[in-house]
Structure formats: structure tokens, C-alpha cells
Amino acid sequence: MPHKTGLFLFNNDLRLHDNEALTLAAAQVDQLICVYCVQTTQSSATLQAPSSLSPHRQVFLAQALSDLQTSLKKLGQHLVVTTKSALEVIPQLITVHNIDHIYSSVSPGYYEQKNWQTLAKRYPFIGFHRLDTHTLFHRAQLPFAVEKIPDGFSKFRKHVESLSINLPLAAPKQLPPSPVSASTWKNLPYSLVQAPLFEGGEEQALAHLEGYFSTRLASDYKLTRNGLDGMDYSTKFSPWLANGNLSARQVIHCLKLYEQEQGANDSTYWIYFELLWREYYQWYGHCHGKKLFRVSGIKTVKPKTSFYAERFQKWCSGNTPYPIVNACMKQLNSTGYMSNRGRQLVASCFVHELGLDWRYGAAYMEEHLVDYDVASNWGNWQYLAGVGADPRGHRRFDLNKQTLTYDPHQVFIKQWAGHQFDTHLDSVDAADWPISR
């Protein structure tokens, strides 16, 4: 029987545990090429490729890939890392190595789906296999067609909340060898230095997962989740979930074990509730595709907005008349992370107080957040901008009231110097004319 050669395309599944697509590949082929394509230019808003990454995102990704490389080497494998696009490198590998099967995890990203569909049409004689590893549920489990996803989270939750969730898979004990020499490929084009808050990689993800549930933090989660700073007010699973160093099913499994040992309450349920929010946006991304990046979102009417370059730059640097927003933006720029409460406040400010095109704000978050997830990021921005899945329209937050509620003594604002800003928001008008004072 002739040998079968497979190719595994890693994307948002940088792990060995609970990687159903990788497990399938290991079982079906005799040789396997593991590939990761680093894309560093163009914005998702152009529907082409991910935007340039901030140093924080670069470091986190570099650490995740380095960790994956180490894990693969223990199984006699290695990762082919290339700065070429999948549409460039995969045809080369198909030609040289006579590939029979190509495997990948399903991604909600329009760019990734478009590439996959292009390759599948171009090579109909090759078996293309994609599995749902980035979500809690498989597509076939959903009680509705993805194209008919409910038009709001509450309806979605009622449909899926009681569905069973598969147990996470163990890591493969062995992988087929690679026919590609490791010395052929260049190293990752990012410097590998220590990130301020999070260290990327499956090993760190599993350590954090175990560490979190070894404490009682989960039992108080609902009471603390709106914190603005620190490591303990929220689970902090999101960076590793975004890169796929950790699966949502692994989190749920550990959560259920915790509830069995420590007891279930509103707080432990709320962790599941927010994973369902994440789940909703993954399928939302699959449903709406390129509409995720359209100014009118999934609506038919464009929001009334404009673009003021000076306002945008002040928002980015944390130099607006809104101290709580400034503090959040300075925190983001310094650490690559921002609380969920902070993300809602800076987005509301961007859309409502500054009157800017929401897509520029979403693209800035894409560049900087270490836990950037294409569906969650762009879906949530649509939600705040009133062009997404929100039957009540725009979500505008009273920034003064929010400050009194979540930072009443301005500890967070003072820590990040949010009170330091220019007196005037605009020094020029929209036509770039100086404004007299």
C-alpha cells in the first residue's frame, strides 16, 4: 500500500491537547508536514490578512509557536514556520511532496476561510478535512443552520445552553514523521523576549488553567469580573483561548471538576455563560463572513460617523477628555491587555463621544490585544456601534457614572495617569483648519 502524506495547517489551534484535527491527521497518514503561516501586513478590515502585530502580540505568538515546536520535537516532528501565505506555500509543498490530505481547524476568520476554499477548489483530488476545535460545540450539534443563527445572544443561549460538551481529547502520543527538513525553513521573524503579563504557549496555558481552579477565585468570579486591573478579578483564559493554546472544552472540563469539588454557584455558572458569549461570536463570524468588517455591519443602514485623525490619535494614546478611557488605553498600550469592562467603555467613547468610524477602533484592538480573536473583537465592536446583533441598537455608556461605579476613588485612573490629557479634544476641524480658541 502506498504511503499517504498529509499536511496540517495550524492557525488558531496552537496546541497538542484537545486538537481533534491533529489527532485525525495522525491516524490517517504515514507522513505529516506541520505548517504555520505568519502574516504581518494588511488589516482584516480590508478582508485580506491580519494587520501588523504590536510587540506584545508578536512576543505572545512567538512564545506560543516556540512552545509548540518544542512539543512537536518530543514526538519526532517539527513546525514549518513561513512568512508566505497559505496560498503560496501549500501549493509548493503539494507539488514537491505529493500530498494526499490537508487538515486544519475551522476558523471563523473570513481570510482563513477564503484561503481554504480556494485551495479546496484548486486541488479537488486532495482530501480536505476541517474540524471544529475552536468552539465548544461542533457545527453538527447546533440545533439550527449556522446561516440562520439567532439574531441575539439570549436566543442563542436558550438553544445551546443544555447541549452536551465533549470531553477534551488527550494529546497524541505519536505523530507521523515529516518529509520536510527542519533546516530548510527560517526562524520566526519575531524576537523572543518576555511579555509583561502573559507567556504564550500550551504549557503556560495548562499551568494557568490548573492554577486558577486550584484557588477559590471561580466561586467569586461574578462579583469581581468587572475589575479594571490585576490578575485575579477575571479568569484570564482569553489570551490562550485566542491563540488556541487552550480549548474552550478544556476550560469547561476543569470548571465542572471544580464545581464537583467546591460546589456550583452563580459565579461558576457565569464563567460558562461568558464562554457561551464567546461561542456565539464564533458562529456569528461564520454566518456573516465579510459583513464582520463592513461599516454597516450586518445591518442595511450605515451609521452616521466620520473620521477625525486627531481624535483617533488621542484615543489611541489615551489623551481624551475622559480619564477612565485614557487609563484603559494606556494600560492596553503598555501591557497588550485590557479588561472587558474597559473594552466596552473605550468602544462606547470611540463611537458616541468621538463620533469615529467603529472599524478603526476594532482594527486598533486587533493590532494590540494579546487575546485578539477575530470574531469576538469585530462582533463586540459591531454590538457597541449598533450595527451588530443587538436589538436595542447603540450601547452608550455614561463614562462619569461608570467611573463612579468601577473606579470611585480613581485608583485605576491615577495608576495609569488617565487624568493627564490635553484640555481641548480638537485643535483642527475636520477639514484640517486650525480651530480658534
Tens digits of residue pLDDT in 397-413: 999 999 999 999 999 99
Helix 358-368, helix 55-74: angle, nearest 10: 50
CATH number at residue 99: 3.40.50.620
194 within domain boundaries: no
184 within domain boundaries: no
182 within domain boundaries: no
434 within domain boundaries: no
CATH number at residue 339: 1.10.579.10
Backbone torsions φ then ψ of 7, nearest 5 degrees: -130, 130
Last residue of a domain, one of 134, 160, 188: 134
Clarify whether residues 228 and 113 are in a common domain.
no
Taking 70 as the threshold, does the pLDDT of residue 414 lie above it? Answer: yes
Q: How confident is the model at residue 426 (pLDDT cuts 50, 70, 90)?
A: confident
Mean pLDDT of the chain: 91
Clarify whether residues 344 and 407 are in a common domain.
yes
pLDDT for position 378 = 97
C-alpha distances out from residue 203 to 143, 260, 297, Å: 35, 25, 37
13 within domain boundaries: yes
pLDDT for position 53 = 87
The CA-based angle 178-182-183, given to 5 degrees, is 150
Clarify whether residues 125 and 90 are in a common domain.
yes
pLDDT for position 302 = 85
Clarify whether residues 29 and 123 are in a common domain.
yes
Contacts of residue 25, Cβ cutoff 8 Å, sequence gap at least 6: 6, 8, 32, 101, 103, 129, 176
Clarify whether residues 9 and 130 are in a common domain.
yes
Clarify whether residues 284 and 348 are in a common domain.
no
Residues 273-325 have pLDDT tens digits of 999 999 999 999 999 999 999 999 999 888 888 888 999 999 999 999 999 99
Clarify whether residues 27 and 75 are in a common domain.
yes
Last residue of a domain, one of 238, 257, 289: 289
Domain of residue 334 covers 309-415
Which grid coordinates belong to 114?
A: 477564503
Taking 70 as the threshold, does the pLDDT of residue 55 lie above it? Answer: yes
270 within domain boundaries: yes
Lowest-pLDDT choice from 31-45, 231-245, 318-332: 31-45
Asked if 125 and 100 count as a contact pair (C-beta separation under 8 A), the reply is: no
Q: Tally the domains of the chain.
A: 3
Clarify whether residues 103 and 27 are in a common domain.
yes
pLDDT for position 244 = 97
Clarify whether residues 278 and 334 are in a common domain.
no
pLDDT for position 304 = 81
Range among 193-197, 256-260, 424-428 rated most confident: 256-260
Clarify whether residues 274 and 317 are in a common domain.
no
For residue 249, the surrounding DSSP H or E stretch is helix 248-262
CA atoms lying within 13 Å on the CB side of residue 320? 27
pLDDT for position 49 = 38
d(CA 275, CA 282): 11
300 within domain boundaries: no
Taking 70 as the threshold, does the pLDDT of residue 436 lie above it? Answer: no
Taking 80 as the threshold, does the pLDDT of residue 431 lie above it? Answer: no
Residues 120-150 have pLDDT tens digits of 999 999 999 999 999 999 999 999 999 999 9
pLDDT for position 45 = 46
Clarify whether residues 12 and 120 are in a common domain.
yes
Last residue of a domain, one of 242, 260, 289: 289
Clarify whether residues 126 and 18 are in a common domain.
yes
d(CA 423, CA 321): 7
Q: Is the pTM of the predicted complex or chain greater than 0.85?
A: yes
pLDDT for position 103 = 98
Residues 86-127 have pLDDT tens digits of 999 999 999 999 999 999 999 999 999 999 999 999 999 999
Which grid coordinates belong to 33?
A: 508536514
pLDDT above 70: percentage of residues in the chain: 90
Q: How confident is the model at residue 37 (pLDDT cuts 50, 70, 90)?
A: very high
